Amino acid sequence: MLDDTDMTHLRRCVALASEALDHGDEPFGSVLVGADGEVLAEDRNRIAGGDATRHPEFALARWAAEHLPPAARATATVYTSGEHCPMCAAAHAWVGLGRIVYASSSAQLTAWLNEWGIAPPPVRPLPIQEIAPSIEVDGPAPGLDDEVKALQRRCHA
């Protein structure tokens, strides 16, 4: 279940995704929130420079590994505009982060790309729990998923 706090953080993720698109990157944004509700870090997609692994969820996993003790990682939440890809889901689980909340799912992204005739990505967009079965996952967020779809549409237009 998503509450008002979740929606606030997800809206920030969508704003970061929009900012990424404005910079020529792909529209994905993520926020790392501690157990006390403090925003610890945020990032957006940065692949335009040629490194296709520059996903925000991956960056936040590395940030957490560098800055947070294991107990703080386990109780932190990662909010993200689009469900983690397998690379990022693995990184999230390897560093021992906690709950994930996404505005739109990988299944939705796959359906949208299909609808628009866009070739699928080189890595299969599996559900997070196929990669990291013990992670608590919530999403999508009705209403915000449509905003993500509009950003993806602009990205692939």
CB of 36 to Zn ion, least distance (A): 27
Regarding 100 and contact with Zn ion (CB under 5 A), the answer is: no
CB of 6 to Zn ion, least distance (A): 20
CB of 63 to Zn ion, least distance (A): 14
Alpha carbon distance 70, 83 (integer Å): 23
Residues from 31 through 70 that contact Zn ion (CB under 5 A)? 55
Q: Is 83 exposed, middle or buried (0-12, 13-18, 19+ CB in 10 A)?
A: buried
Regarding 132 and contact with Zn ion (CB under 5 A), the answer is: no
Residue for token digits 């237009």? 157
Q: Which of 41, 60, 85, 101 lies at the binding interface for Zn ion (CB under 5 A)?
A: 85
Distances (CA, A) of 75 to 11, 38, 55, 136, 144: 21, 12, 22, 11, 25
Residues of this chain that interact with Zn ion (CB under 5 A) are 55, 85, 87-88
